[in-house]
Structure 1
Amino acid sequence: MNPLNDPFAAQREASHGAFTAAPPDLAQATGEEPWRTDAPPGETRGFTGAALAASAASAVAAEGGNPLVAAANALLNLIPQIRYTVHHPNPVWLREHLANEIRQFEARARGAGASPEQIGAARYCLCTALDEAAALTPWGGAGDWSANSLLVAFHNETWGGEKFFELLNRLMQQPREQLNLLELLYYCLVLGFEGRYRVLDNGRAQLDDLRHSLARTIRSVRGDYDAALSAHWRDEIAREDPHRFAVPLWACAALALLVGFGVYLGFDLALAGRSDKAFAMIGRLQIPSVRLQAAEPRAVHPTPPPRLAGFLAPEIAEGLVEVRDAADRSVIVLRGDGLFESGSATVIDRYQPTLARVAAALAQVPGAIVVAGYTDNVPVHSARFPSNWNLSVERAQAVAAILAARLGDAGRVRAEGRGAADPVAPNDSAANRARNRRVEITLLTAPPKLATPDTGVAGDAP
């Protein structure tokens, strides 16, 4: 049995002519627009979302895919307007106007090739949706609309909220054959028609499930719609300029970081240049001398025996180191040009045996060890070494680390940088500047015993 036969086809022709012709345009006769409302703004214009749904139906119909939706566009657009109109000046005229629109819908649908059964079923659903929209208004629910509704006039029934969904269930059994009618009923639901679900417990949730199921059924047959409501919403699509240069966000962030790093580096180098001058001024400071009265009898220092010079005699002979033994200390001088590459703080591999011999010599004598790095007065400006002082510190730390590892006692060794301070020769020639580039290893020993020339009795140094 065709799902469209009963109850709609048998009543289609008997109901024609139930309304008279519509009066002249209401806006011209009364000076009012048919859908104008006197309610405050925000209380009666709530059909924006539904109106968009009706516009979507218009867009689908405009593509030529559904003759029923195309023929019913005018009536579908009226459903949300009727529902949210608080006051209407002439409901009788409105009903006559809707009746004429329904007849025009039938004519358009027949012209588009729709079958009589489809037209009758579509008319039944449109009348039901329009009647419900009017019945929910103050001017339609309390008046004689229900007694003289569109459904009564065209189908001699007072309420179609039950049969609408009975028809929908039968149509969903044949979605491919009844796709056009299913889409029309879907738009009625989207535009707010509820029917029997309005009075059921949890009816809104059940209706939502039914609407989603219907949407999936339609999509499975027709496929997805174009995301745009209209393919011709603008006259001409602007062509992308292939030569247009677009800078990505990450590139802007990277450029900002690079600029910030450059500013930081510039300030760091400027500060380093000034720090060299400050260290040089500190190095030139002279501690004021104070003349003290010599104590009687005068102490005579005995000639100190060589502590390290004898042990490092081979290295001294090769010119690798210089050793100065004093009463309370011994100083080992390493030439920087043989110890490091230019502008580097890494000890050259061939100098490792020499440092091993120095560490072995230091292990023979107790005392604290101070490793001091020195440079010439030629400024150094690099990312790693912003100043001569930074270079001298890292060179001293490199030598101190090797000695501490060989001695096995890191607490004995301390590193410090002196920069260009305390030169051993004027920085007026390449040879003299090479002498100033050095590392000095100072071994601090216990003070020696002192003897008096008169008594020859030994005593501790003061």
Structure 2
Amino acid sequence: MSTNDPQQPSPDDERTILIPSPGGKRGAAASAPAPAPAPQASTVQPPVPSSGPADATAAAAMPRIGGYGLNPLVAAASPLLDLVLPLRHMAAYPQVEHLRQQLVAGIKRFEQEAKAAQVPTDAIAVARYSLCTFLDETISATPWGSGGVWSSRSLLVTFHNEASGGEKFFLVLQKLCQDPGTHIDVLELMYLCLSLGLEGRYRVLDGGRGQLDILRERLLELIARQRGAVEPALSLHWQGAGGKGEALWRMLPVWVVAAIALSVLVLLHMALSFSLSRASTPVHTRLHGIAVAAWPASAAAAPLPAPAAPARVAKFLAPEIEQGLVSVSELPDRSIITLMGNGVFAPGSAEVTPSFVPLLQKIGDALRPVEGKVKVVGHTDNTTGFSTRFPSNWELSKGRAATVARMLGERAGPPERYSVEGRGDTEPVAPNDSAANRARNRRVVIMLLAPPSA
């Protein structure tokens, strides 16, 4: 094969157009390419698309690295192939002669790299012819490259002294397909030219696009048979993460599983707690309404006169009684301090409002010098709230009683002196038919029980 006249076909060559090409199996074209030489950097200045001649400029030199793993011809030609799309979409290029010089230098650099990779001279000639044909066709199809410098000084004219290679490219391709094992690297490069848009003689033929698709498909199949089957896996040594049908929860972090389980348990606890409260409230109400029969009075026993009730705490709490904050009932066996509930607690809460803390401290001071057990009983109105801590009025009334007992114990301990009880809305002191009456029913009763006499 001559360096300047690649693969000049004989007349017999036109008997069989065996030319294969792509369509179905795309990855086989470069499936197992020949080993490339050590990567070496080459520099080609690709043109930059512009909107008009005035601002059309060449881009700065861009380094191109010889493709590792490609066949040596494709590796050396890759900088030139990279220019095809930018050139095809440029609206104008004012320095056409400068572009031609750049491409001539790129073709020469391609030859040098191919020779350095020990590619045969005839294969380099065919590859150079294919690249010149492809680049000339691409530039000639643009508005700025269809005449002038390129029509008279194209790359084919410069390197092969031919005006057009659109016919001869396919004749050479047909010749090479008769011995694909020897010419596989050149066939791969020619396939890339066809895939990137080279049309040649098929551009002007009726149905040429369809014929060209068939040709590319057959060429791809031919290359695939030479290169062997394509490895479908992206990684040759991949390992599965686990057994077939592995559960999603095994892929989640432990803390995520724990958080989900905890959330489910909390929601389940809340649901069961509210359900239990709704079911138990009527039972508590009925139990509290059961009347206990009194023991029959002895006929022989004469009634004793009621002893006078001592003033245990009333005098000490006189200012608070006058302000209406508390009410005090002194009985012979106990003193009853009623803490009015309006404003003492926030709705649905068992925490004492800060403004009422001094009042509870004053009650504790009143209880400190007096002996006897203290029983704290909480009461609510008939309004039911929604709270995870206090799902019913029974729990809320007992929680408020416990808070008051704790604060009194801190002031007038010890804690064993105090007991708490919640009675919900079962013992109203007024009908729950107005805001004022409901405020009266929301109360805490503190009972100081006199110690038994000796």
| Higher RCO structure, 1 or 2 (CA under 8 Å, sep 6+) | 2
Both proteins in one fold, TM over 0.5: no
With structure 1 as the length reference, what TM-score do the two structures score? 0.43
With structure 2 as the length reference, what TM-score do the two structures score? 0.44
